[in-house]
Amino acid sequence: MSVKSQIAPTKHDFSDIKNESTWAFETLSGMYGEELAATQLSLEHEAYTLGEERFRKQLERQIERGEFAENATAKPVLSHLVPKLIAAYEAWVDHQVHKVRRKHVGLSYFQQMDSEAVAAITVKIVLGDMAKPSPVTIQALAIRIGQSLEEEARFGRIRVQEAAHFQKHVKAALNKRNGHTYKVKFMERVEGHMIDADQLATKWVKWDTLDNDVTYHMGIRLLELLIESTQLVEVRREFAGIKSQDGEYVSLHPEWAKKLCDRAFNLAGISPQYQPMIVPPREWSTMVGGGYWAKGRKPIPFIRVRSKKALHRYREVFMPEVYKAVNLAQQTAWSVNQRVLSVANALMQWKHVPIDGFPLPEREELPPRPEGMDEDPELLRSWKREASAVYRRDKARISRRLGYEFALEQANKFSEYEAIYFPYNLDWRGRVYAIPAFNPQGNDMTKGLLQASIAEPVGEEGVEWLMIHGANCAGVDKVSFDQRKQWVRDNEEMILACARDPLGCTEWAQMDSPFCFLAFCFEWEGVKRDGPLHESALPIAFDGSCSGIQHFSAMLRDERGGRAVNLVPSESVQDIYKLVADRVNEALARDLEEGSEDSTETVTNKKTGEIVEKRILGTKGMARGWLGYGVTRSVTKRSVMTLAYGSKAFGFSEQLIGDIINPAMDRGTGQEFFASVPQCARYMANLIWDAVGVTVVKAVEAMKWLQVAAKHLAKEVICKETGAQLKPCMPVFWVTPDGFPVWQEYMKQEQRRIDLTFLGTMRLQTTINVRDSNVIDGLKQQSGISPNFVHSQDGSHLRKTVVKAHEAYGVSFFSLIHDSFGTIPAKAGAMFRAVRETMVETYETTNVLADFRDQFLDQLHETQLEDMPEVPAQGSLDITQILKSDFAFA
């Protein structure tokens, strides 16, 4: 029997891409010469070969781990086969129950589970085992199926019967465990703890001890039903005459193997790994046809939407300013910073890199096992806690390491070109994104590796901006511009030492953005040598100060919120994250003095009737813990930052657990501050929510108003007398200030979900090949409107800034990341002015919320109008003050 996997798709030759590139070659040859034209088209061809290689590696990894059913190749097959097996299985069970005297030995166990779960487990296990190269006996496969059914029945009862407990305390921790064995062991411990706490009524008794080999017989029956209903697999005798191997083996039916291979082949052919370009991208003028020059197999759309139907909406839209901005952005000529690249290449070989979070080549050592650990349960728990933290960090390390290796591979590859380019397109809200995976919108190392292709003399003003940029990269960005420049002067010796010997003098690695700071060190060395005549290609960025709240404060003329996010001039930088942290600390101090004490409440177990006591932490003790930990801007930053994007107190709580409390627990310092993770997180989340609400009242008003509007649009209106539909559920539509139309249309999926404890989640479509239904999801419409609306506004601001900077100030180099606007030092002053001027132009004469209201008001039914509140009143903020504010974008 062959030891090769039956899922081994043939490779593409992609000759069609080369053959269809005649027009592109002729066009590019006329513009840039035959050599560049040929190389560029070769890179575009290579994107498909690289994409196929990436697809095949992922496929091989999933096959090796037994997760083939999770691959895009198998998912439609799974959705097709599971309903067929469900029907056959339910018919068999019904026959067993009503028409057979001698029941199947496993019937009572089958009846402990939903038929959907039984079928999904069977198909997933079979697909996973069949994809592996090693032969599988029918006995081994049947036992695997039976045991998986028992595991689902055993631990699924926790997920179903104690759903709230599972979601709150178990699910996240289970997902962090790698490997099936570790997951099972973890759930066994969870089960034990729950039984001890009387949260589960009975202990589990293994099925095979009740009925001998019952799991095997259950697996055999399901394999028989699978073959009868789907013909997915076949059973043949193999290795006849070889005593140790002779037996009945299961393999994919050749027709199904071919279908799966064909699908994998097709998917691999349309999974390009896009790369930077060495000629300027083709300009966008329609919904497809921009960016890369070759036709390719998978046309890239101008707007990233879910379907062709959604893309067709934009065909007749007139938005010249939008096209102009994206085309200007992607004409930016970049190059690789050779000096930073040399340092990054060297660091990747080091075993100890002095950069916080840098992914090292080897896994962190497990903590030493303390003496007596096996006899002391507390020591064992403590060691396991530390060890699990190492495993979690290693999982993150591997992911980051692969990302760093990919970025360096691309940087080395394109370092030989004088100029490289990044094609851009938009998401459906109008945010601008680079198409290649390696691009200037990446992490600190990637940004440090990239610079402008053409350097220009910095000039006197450019020297000033370069100093400010250097301090920003060092993390000295919450002080005045003069203080930032003084920091550079005070640390000049260190800066120049880093430039001369970056691998020997590694103080740059301790900075907030180490690779960007290193790139600055090299530039500052040039400035000290050549003065204002130094030619610099370093990107300098002006970042928004909590941009979501900036936009809400500007559109509503919110004096208080605007001041908190630097929309008005100030001698010092206003730090909204610190402002909120200060308010929280005031509340903590009050609770420490006046708060409640710990208490207990009695809780009745609904199943057993047993009454147990539950500890409730008082605000006094939790305040003491948080004050001991220290509430700084880092504690409040993410919550405040995500407020404008729809996050609320519950979301704050989840963020605090992930960002603050769990890392403290992993470090071994959290236990002394946080007596209960969920209670302490909820407590702090509510304090932050209250503090933010006082600091940026208008932003919260705007969010609530937008949600009411989306709710009304998504609501169907029915005549009470006749039952006739007076208004259907409708998408939310608006147009940004620069003319980009946005359709927010979340549709309910016509699928039912099957949740499995160990085999994940699968969705069964009720209508094949229908991705979404025609029914609008009102809850998603309501929850999504605030983040989507403000994202569309910052996308418009970015595009308007690009056009303004180019047409008014001659800026041609753009480094753009949503609320970050970058250019070279010689043009930094122009960008500084352009980003402020466009912010004022956007909101000075336009009330975007009123415009939004006008755009949807006619779509509401008359009965809804009286329930639709007025647009939030505007405050007294003089929007033109942004022009005089140093720190609005700095």
Nearest of 586, 462, 594 to residue 532 by alpha carbon: 462
Instruction: Note down the domain range covering 364.
Output: 341-414
Mean pLDDT of the chain: 90
Is the residue at 233 inside a domain?
Answer: yes
Q: What are phi and psi of 233, to 5 degrees?
A: -130, 165
Active-site annotation holder among 124, 183, 485, 637: 637
Does residue 116 sit in the same domain as residue 246?
yes
Q: How does pLDDT run across 194-245, given as a tens digit for each residue?
A: 777 777 777 888 999 888 899 999 999 999 999 999 999 999 988 887 877 8
Q: What is the pLDDT of residue 254?
A: 94
Q: How does pLDDT run across 393-423, given as a tens digit for each residue?
A: 787 888 899 999 999 999 999 999 999 999 9
Does residue 75 sit in the same domain as residue 217?
yes
Active-site annotation holder among 211, 394, 427, 543: 543
pLDDT: is 453 or 778 the higher one?
453
543 given a catalytic annotation: yes
Does the structure show a pLDDT above 80 at 837? yes
Cβ within 8 Å of residue 22, ≥6 positions away: none
Q: How does pLDDT run across 231-257, given as a tens digit for each residue?
A: 999 999 888 878 778 889 999 999 999
pTM of the full predicted structure? 0.88
Does the structure show a pLDDT above 50 at 2? no
819 given a catalytic annotation: yes
Q: What is the pLDDT of residue 529?
A: 97
The partner residues of 542 in beta bridges, in order of sequence, read: 821
Is the residue at 602 inside a domain?
Answer: yes
Is the residue at 282 inside a domain?
Answer: no
Does the structure show a pLDDT above 80 at 193? no
Is the residue at 19 inside a domain?
Answer: no
Q: What is the pLDDT of residue 766?
A: 42
CA distances to 448, 457, 812, 823 from 534, in Å: 19, 5, 19, 16
CATH at residue 123: 1.10.1320.10
CATH at residue 600: 1.10.150.20
Q: How far apart are CA 148 and CA 130, in angstroms?
A: 16
Q: What is the pLDDT of residue 730?
A: 87
CATH at residue 367: 1.10.287.260
Does the structure show a pLDDT above 90 at 483? yes
Does the structure show a pLDDT above 50 at 272? yes
Count of CB atoms situated within 10 Å of the CB of 721: 6
Structure tokens at 415: 């370092």
Q: For the ranges 131-145, 752-766, 790-804, which has the lowest average pLDDT?
A: 752-766
* Cβ 887 vs Cβ 564: under 8 Å: no
- In the numeric block, the tokens 């949807």 are attached to 856
Is the residue at 796 inside a domain?
Answer: no
Is the residue at 600 inside a domain?
Answer: yes
Does the structure show a pLDDT above 60 at 770? no
Does residue 245 sit in the same domain as residue 370?
no
Domain tally, the chain: 3
Most confident of 76-90, 526-540, 597-611: 526-540
* Cβ 280 vs Cβ 419: under 8 Å: no
- Left (φ > 0), alpha (ψ -120 to 50) or beta: where does 269 sit? alpha
Q: How far apart are CA 745 and CA 775, in angstroms?
A: 10
Does residue 258 sit in the same domain as residue 352?
no
Q: Using 50, 70 and 90 to split pLDDT, how confident is the model at 646?
A: confident
Does residue 263 sit in the same domain as residue 136?
yes
Does the structure show a pLDDT above 90 at 374? no
Does the structure show a pLDDT above 60 at 635? yes
Does the structure show a pLDDT above 60 at 723? yes
Q: Which of 269, 299, 317 is the last residue of a domain?
A: 269
Does residue 73 sit in the same domain as residue 219?
yes
Does residue 348 sit in the same domain as residue 259?
no
Q: How far apart are CA 437 and CA 403, in angstroms?
A: 10
